[in-house]
């Protein structure tokens, strides 16, 4: 067993874990507070990637536009999130799960078609800033610098979320909403505004993930559906509603998959689902989730 191979493989798995965490963190946050599974979450992710591609254009990445795009795209997507919450989402919180599912499902298709109208079906490519391209030597093997950047951003996002939830008033309110929304409302908190804020943060997280991942993928229609299944699995494994759970779920999925691909490639596609079945068989509400009230 070559140590370098295993190290590179684990790092590759952690890269996957990094962006899966960012996408599923937003999804799980929204579910935690509002009990809505947002199928259109993947659309926010895809839009951020498209916006980055549009801003960076076909340039070499040397112009610094990449950094601008990295900041602007998540903000635009967050604004989209706010608009979506105010116009649609807040009308369906009181509805059955199936209605919510259908509504966000419909949003998913609408967003997909609008994206096709704006950006067309061609594959787009984004060049990262030059400082992020190239390789780093890890135990005698080369590993892409950009992948470290993805992991770094994921860690920053994770820490920021932790600080937000544990150390700020907004965070306390969000956690209170997860625990007991009735009591929260009774204390005079504007729950309606809180929900808009949470949904916006959720979209922002999807936006950060989409913007960061843009230089690693072909930016084209289908990105939205591609990410959604895995992000949902991560959120379910971790326990819907738990950010820490999403982090653990992403790491489990990323590493499980990476090791599977290295040692038993024929079965690699099944590994994701095996991980999910195992966890759900033991804890149907996920690793760090709580059974529904």
Partner 1 sequence: MRLPRKYQGGKAVRNTRFRWLALTLAVGLALAAMSCKGSSKSTATPQATGTQPAAATGTQPAAFTGTVKVGISTTLSGAIAQLGKNGLQGVTLAVDDLNAKGGLLGKKIEVVSADDQAKPDVGSTNVRNMILNDKVVAVFGPVSSAVAAAEEGIAAQNKIPIFFHTSNDTVLMTKQFTKYGFQVVPNTTMEPRAIAAYACQQPYTKWATIGPDYSYGHDTVDTFIKDLKACKPGVEVVNAQWPKLGSSDFTPYISAIQSAKPDALFLAIYGGDLVTFSKQAAGYNLAKQMKMFGAYSISALQPLGADAPAGGVTWFRAPIYLPDGTPGVDNAKIKTFIDQYHAKFGQWPGIFSILAYSAVQTWADGVKKANSFDGDKIAAALPGVTVSTVRGDIKIRACDHQAEIPEYVGTLSDQVNSTYGFRTPTNVFIGQPDKIMLTCAESEALRGK
Residues numbered 209-228 forming contacts with partner 1, rule: CB under 8 A: 213, 215-218, 220-228
Residue from the set 19, 21, 44, 66 that interacts with partner 1 by CB under 8 A: 19
Q: Say whether residue 82 binds partner 1 (CB under 8 A).
A: no
**Residue 94 is a binding residue for partner 1 (CB under 8 A):** yes
Where does this chain touch partner 1 (CB under 8 A) — which range of 68-76, 199-207, 241-249, 284-292?
284-292
Closest approach of partner 1 to the CB of residue 78, in Å = 21
Backbone angles phi and psi of 137, in degrees to 5: -85, 125
Using CB under 8 A, pick the residue from 64, 68, 123, 155 that binds partner 1: 123
Residue closer to partner 1 by CB (options 139, 163) is 139
Shortest reach from residue 115's CB to partner 1, in Å: 9
Q: Of 125, 131, 139, 179, which lies in the binding site for partner 1, with binding defined by CB under 8 A?
A: 125
Count CB neighbours of 70 within 10 A. Answer: 21
Q: How far is CA 199 from CA 49, 117, 125, 284, in A?
A: 19, 25, 29, 25
Phi and psi dihedrals of 141, rounded to 5?
A: -115, 150
Find the DSSP H helices in 141-215: 145-167, 169-179, 181-186, 191-213
Q: Which of 3, 62, 71, 116 binds partner 1 (CB under 8 A)?
A: 116
| Furthest CA-CA distance within the chain | 61
Cβ contact 166:178 at 8 Å: no
Applying the rule CB under 8 A, the residues between 144 and 203 that interact with partner 1 are: 144-147, 181-182, 185, 190-192
Which of 43, 38, 44 minimizes the C-alpha distance to 195? 38
93 binding partner 1? (CB under 8 A): yes
Q: Which is nearer to partner 1, 81 or 215 (CB)?
A: 215
C-alpha span between 79 and 91 (Å, rounded) = 18
The number of angstroms, rounded, from the C-alpha of 52 to the middle of its chain's C-alpha atoms is: 16
Does residue 130 bind partner 1 (CB under 8 A)?
no
Q: Within positions 23 to 62, which residues make up the interface with partner 1, using CB under 8 A?
A: 34-35, 37, 39, 58
What is the smallest separation between the CB atom of 163 and partner 1, expressed in angstroms?
A: 27
Question: CA-CA-CA-CA torsion for 259, 260, 262, 267, nearest 10 degrees?
Answer: 180
């Amino acid at each position: 067993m070559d140590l370098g191979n295993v190290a590179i493989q684990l790092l590759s798995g952690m890269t996957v874990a990094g962006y899966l965490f960012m996408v599923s963190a937003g999804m799980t946050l929204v579910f935690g507070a509002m009990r809505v599974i947002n199928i259109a979450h993947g659309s926010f992710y895809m839009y951020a990637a498209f916006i980055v591609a549009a801003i960076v254009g076909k340039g070499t990445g040397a112009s610094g536009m990449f950094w601008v795009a990295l900041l602007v795209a998540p903000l635009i997507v967050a604004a989209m999130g706010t608009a979506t919450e105010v116009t649609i989402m807040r009308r369906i919180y009181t509805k059955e799960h199936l209605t919510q599912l259908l509504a966000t499902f419909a949003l998913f298709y609408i967003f997909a078609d609008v994206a096709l109208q704006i950006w067309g079906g061609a594959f787009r490519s984004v060049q990262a800033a030059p400082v992020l391209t190239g390789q780093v030597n890890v135990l005698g093997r080369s590993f892409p610098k950009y992948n470290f950047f993805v992991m770094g951003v994921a860690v920053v996002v994770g820490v920021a979320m932790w600080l937000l939830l544990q150390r700020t008033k907004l965070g306390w309110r969000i956690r209170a909403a997860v625990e007991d929304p009735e009591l929260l409302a009774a204390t005079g908190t504007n729950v309606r505004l809180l929900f808009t804020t949470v949904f916006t943060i959720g979209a922002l997280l999807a936006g950060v993930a989409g913007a960061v991942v843009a230089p690693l993928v072909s930016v084209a229609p289908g990105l939205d559906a591609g990410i959604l299944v895995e992000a949902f699995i991560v959120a379910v494994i971790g326990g819907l509603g738990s950010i820490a759970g999403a982090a653990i779920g992403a790491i489990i999925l990323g590493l499980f998959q990476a090791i599977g691909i290295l040692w038993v490639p024929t079965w690699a596609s099944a590994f994701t689902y095996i991980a999910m079945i195992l966890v759900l068989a033991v804890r149907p509400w996920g690793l760090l989730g709580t059974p529904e009230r």
